């Protein structure tokens, strides 16, 4: 397609496009695969309450800060800091963000590959007649088989790169606008099915009734970590997307809408999963296998199971895809803008180099467990380092940057679109990013490093 002005930066074409893309990034395996089992392991309702509090008090301000840095600078995650703070070391945030993108995409595409395989399993009725033990073996055999998970991972990476390759407006925005409504529809259908199962009430009680005795130091910090990962904050994905937002957009509204969508989907995923888990007499603490072992077992026994398993794994694939494109975009935007390569070349190069690490990651989960440090394999190490160290540290530095380095007027100018919008809570926002958020994030970070081991259950 002819470009009118080659110097014009690609960007989102509409308000809805901004929300679809950013909510697409936020809503992912973190909501549907990770959130339910983390809730299950951390006591249900009490965890949910703390999580919601963090989302509101810390998640929204951090997300808004990323949008501010992105739109103000009109650059990628690293270039943004070079432009706003020339001659300083702040661009280290960007370097770390690009590193985190490499790490996250490596292990995330491993799990995304599994979701694709499970979609194929669902299509071919592979769960039929299998009990829990057999489903367990099925999952293990697939994981250990070496080549198959790699092929699925590469197919997934190909889809991701295909969309990023097409650009911001004609790729990311176009596809997320198409996929996100489908995702929302599927999750609502699954919720309706789940709450109408006999015995569903117990699952809803587990999810919504807080038992304050269960709130320990560890639960609080886990909730904050989950909030970071789920909202895609702390590594510059939303700085990059923020740089594609036009000057008319109300950044705080966008941050609220994205956060609301992400939270809604996480809660709906809980509503879809826990009633089913309880209705079939399964322990909610099943862990990461919840989605790949427990749910197929439930689908197997439920009326209409074929259809529901199909749309459930489709939901996972869509959720994962709209997230992986945002992670790849961080690297592609950097390579194309800072290293002066065109987008298409930058996409191919980035996808191939990330895939190399991704391949080892998948193999470490299966036939090559020898790729490990201590008792963690490569997959676990990358997940641990990115989610528990890089995201909280990145988030901490981003709020410090906006709260303490950027000028107050500059920040207010950005969130109010040069005083065109009345932003009532701007002082509250400033107070949170200067004081509240940095302290809270520092706690998550220290937890990630095991400083609060004493509080763990
Ligand atoms: N928010 C995504 C999820 O919940 O699955 C994961 C993620 C995407 C994390 C993009 C970080 C990121 F930059």
Domain CATH number, residue 38: 1.20.1740.10
Smallest CA separation from ligand 1 atom 11, residue: 232
| Residue-level pLDDT at 255 | 98
Mean pLDDT, consecutive 10-residue segments, the chain of 457 residues?
Answer: 57 96 97 87 90 93 97 98 98 97 96 95 91 86 89 98 97 96 93 88 90 83 87 97 97 98 95 85 73 84 89 95 98 97 97 97 83 81 86 94 98 97 95 95 75 55
- Residue 33 DSSP symbol: I
Question: Is 370 part of a structural domain of the chain?
Answer: yes
Of 239, 326, 385, 394, the residue with max ligand 1 atoms within 8 A of its CB, to mutate for a pocket test, comes to 326
| Residue-level pLDDT at 79 | 98
| Residue-level pLDDT at 457 | 41
Residue 267 Cα to ligand 1 middle (Å): 16
229 in contact with ligand 1, CB cutoff 6 A:
yes
| Residue-level pLDDT at 452 | 67
Atom of ligand 1 nearest to the CA of 229: 9
Cβ contacts of 12 within 8 Å, gap of 6 or more: 18, 21, 168, 169, 173, 241, 244, 245, 246
Q: How many domains does the chain have?
A: 1
Is-contact 244 11, C-beta < 8 A? yes
Atom of ligand 1 nearest to the CA of 29: 5
Smallest CA separation from ligand 1 atom 9, residue: 232
236 in contact with ligand 1, CB cutoff 6 A:
no
31 in contact with ligand 1, CB cutoff 6 A:
yes
Smallest CA separation from ligand 1 atom 7, residue: 232
Question: Is 171 part of a structural domain of the chain?
Answer: yes
pTM of this structure: 0.93
- The total of other beta-carbon atoms located within 10 Å of residue 281's CB is 8
104 in contact with ligand 1, CB cutoff 6 A:
yes
26 in contact with ligand 1, CB cutoff 6 A:
yes
| Residue-level pLDDT at 339 | 95
- Tokens for 287, please give them: 């862990």
Question: Is 357 part of a structural domain of the chain?
Answer: yes
Question: Is 241 part of a structural domain of the chain?
Answer: yes
Residue 381 Cα to ligand 1 middle (Å): 17
| Residue-level pLDDT at 1 | 41
Residue 152 Cα to ligand 1 middle (Å): 20
Give the integer Cα–Cα distance in Å for 344 and 336.
9
Containing domain of residue 142, as a range? 6-456
Question: Is 1 part of a structural domain of the chain?
Answer: no
């Amino acid at each position: 397609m002819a470009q009118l002005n080659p110097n014009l930066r690609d960007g989102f074409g509409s308000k809805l496009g901004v929300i679809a893309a950013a909510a697409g990034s936020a809503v992912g395996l973190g909501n549907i695969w990770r959130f339910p089992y983390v809730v299950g392991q951390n006591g249900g309702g009490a965890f949910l309450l703390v999580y919601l509090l963090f989302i509101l008090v810390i998640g929204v301000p951090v997300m808004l800060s990323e949008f501010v840095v992105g739109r103000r600078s009109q650059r990628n995650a690293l270039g943004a800091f070079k432009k706003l703070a020339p001659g300083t070391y702040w661009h280290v945030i960007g370097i770390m963000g690009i590193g985190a993108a490499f790490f996250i995409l490596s292990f995330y595409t491993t799990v995304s590959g599994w979701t694709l395989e499970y979609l194929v399993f669902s299509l071919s009725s592979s769960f039929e007649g299998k009990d829990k033990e057999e489903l367990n073996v099925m999952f293990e055999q697939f994981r250990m088989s070496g080549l198959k998970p790699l092929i699925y991972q590469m197919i997934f990476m190909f889809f991701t790169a295909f969309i990023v390759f097409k650009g911001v407006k004609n790729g990311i925005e176009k596809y997320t606008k198409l996929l996100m409504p489908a995702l929302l529809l599927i999750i609502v259908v699954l919720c309706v099915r789940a709450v109408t199962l006999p015995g569903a009430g117990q699952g809803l009680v587990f999810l919504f009734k807080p038992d304050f005795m269960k709130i320990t130091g560890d639960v609080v910090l886990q909730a904050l970590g989950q909030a970071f990962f789920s909202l895609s904050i702390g590594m510059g994905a939303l700085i990059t997307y923020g740089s594609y937002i036009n000057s008319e957009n109300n950044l705080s509204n966008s941050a609220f809408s994205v956060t609301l969508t992400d939270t809604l989907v996480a809660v709906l995923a809980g509503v879809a999963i826990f009633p089913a888990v309880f209705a079939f007499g399964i322990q909610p603490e099943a862990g990461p296998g919840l989605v790949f072992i427990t749910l197929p077992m439930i689908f197997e026994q439920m009326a209409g199971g074929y259809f529901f398993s199909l749309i459930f794994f489709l939901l996972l694939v869509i959720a994962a895809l709209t997230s992986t494109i945002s992670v790849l975009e961080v690297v592609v935007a950097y390579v194309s803008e800072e290293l002066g390569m065109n987008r298409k070349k930058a996409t191919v190069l980035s996808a191939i180099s990330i895939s190399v690490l991704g391949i080892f990651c998948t193999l470490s989960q299966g036939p090559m467990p020898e790729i490990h440090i201590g008792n963690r394999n490569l997959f676990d190490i990358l997940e641990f380092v990115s989610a528990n160290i890089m995201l909280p540290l990145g988030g901490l530095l981003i709020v410090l940057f906006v709260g303490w380095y950027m000028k107050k007027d500059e920040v207010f100018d950005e969130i109010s679109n040069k005083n065109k919008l009345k932003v009532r809570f701007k002082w509250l926002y400033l107070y949170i990013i200067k004081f509240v958020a940095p302290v809270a994030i520092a706690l998550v970070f220290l937890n990630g490093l095991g400083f609060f081991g004493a509080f763990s259950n």
